[in-house]
Structures are given as structure tokens and as C-alpha cells.
Amino acid sequence: MKFAVLVFPGSNCDLDMYHAIKDELGEEVEYVWHDTKDLSTFDGILIPGGFSYGDYLRCGAMANQSNVMSEVKKAADAGKPVIGICNGFQILTEAGLLPGALLRNKNLKFICRTVQLKVVNHNTLFTNQYKEDEVITVPIAHGEGNYYCDDATLKSLEDNNQIVFTYSGDNPNGSLADIAGITNERGNVLGMMPHPERAVDELIGGADGLALFKSIVKQWRESNVNEA
């Protein structure tokens, strides 16, 4: 499977994402600059965290204007897996690929620590290697990770099982309904604030995030076998 790791001015988690895919997952991966106009050769799109365009105007808003985002939308429409982590989640909401918005943390401070996540829906493209209600440990590092949406959107997320991860025991940022990660209705676009790419090896504190990337590869391979 071939992944693209998008790089915007201000991205700083692209190295972590690249390492997770190449060295821990053993799959093909390339950095892709934000002005790229063709993502057709990639099987999966990864939008890393950081501070794209310095978070000016609004987190993710300027990144959404980059050339590559029209290609991300095409990839999503084609059913390819698309993940936005931290700032990547913010970009996906700005692009309209995911509902809702990410607001300032409730305490108005930048938070950097590990948290417990519950896998609310393990029957997705991104979570099929986890168990139902499994609790995993993953780092967070954000100042605007407070997920918000209106009541109708929240009900839709719940009814369609689009809430994939919730904070378990401790909600660090005030997110509505403890939401830490959601998918689109089709289930091929995931946005989450915690950093699974920073939890892929026991040498760096834990490997609970690796199963997320393994889930994608497993389903991709099964789909290709079935199509063949």
C-alpha cells in the first residue's frame, strides 16, 4: 500500500507519520508538498499535525486553500482512506470533509501529555484491529482540540456510528460528548486530535496507535483480493 504524507508550511508531525508508515508498518510512503495537483498514484492520504501556515486566520483554514486539498477531496470521493490528525483534523473540518469544528481547549492552554481513548466503534476501516470498547493510550499535543458541533450533527454522528474514539475517564479539552475522533458517513475519512503515529513502538512509550494503521492496510489488502 502506498501512502502520501502531506506537508504544509508549518507541518511538524510529518516525520512522525512517515516513520510510522515506513519503519513500523513497512509500507511505501512519500512526502507530498502542499502545491501538488495529483494524488492519483497513492492508496491512502495522511494529513499530519503541526501548525499549518502558523495557524493564522484559523487553524486549518489557510491549508484548505492549498492546491492539494482538491486532490484530497477527490481521493475521499473515490473511497480512499484519508486521515487527518490534530491539525489535520482541523483541516478536514475546514474542508467540509468532516462535520463540526475544533475550538480552543476549555482551559485555554496548550496541552501535551498522554490520554486514554476508548475505541467506540471498532468496525471501521481505521479500527478493525482493535476490540470493542478497548481503551488505548495515545499522546495529545494541541491548543485547539475542543470538538464542537450542533445538536443535529451530534445526533447524526451518534446514529451513524461515526464517533470512533472518545476520551476515557478524563476529557482534556472539553470536547462535546468526549469526542476524540470521528469519520465521515461513508467511513473512509477519519479525523482525530490524539497522535497514534507517536504511539507505534514500545521504545517510545507504547504502541497502541499502530493497530490503527494496520487496520487500514488489512482492509485495503482484503478489498484488492476481493476485486481481483
Provide the annotated active-site residues. 86, 195, 197
Strand partners, 50: 11
For the chain, the helix, strand and coil percentages under 3-state DSSP, each to the nearest 5:
30, 25, 40
Classified as helix, coil or strand, 218 is helix
Classified as helix, coil or strand, 74 is helix
Q: How far apart are CA 208 and CA 55, in angstroms?
A: 29
For 10, 56, 81, 146, the CA distances from 129, given in Å and listed in that order, are 32, 37, 16, 27
Q: How far apart are CA 157 and CA 174, in angstroms?
A: 18
Q: How far apart are CA 226 and CA 210, in angstroms?
A: 25
Q: How far apart are CA 22 and CA 157, in angstroms?
A: 33
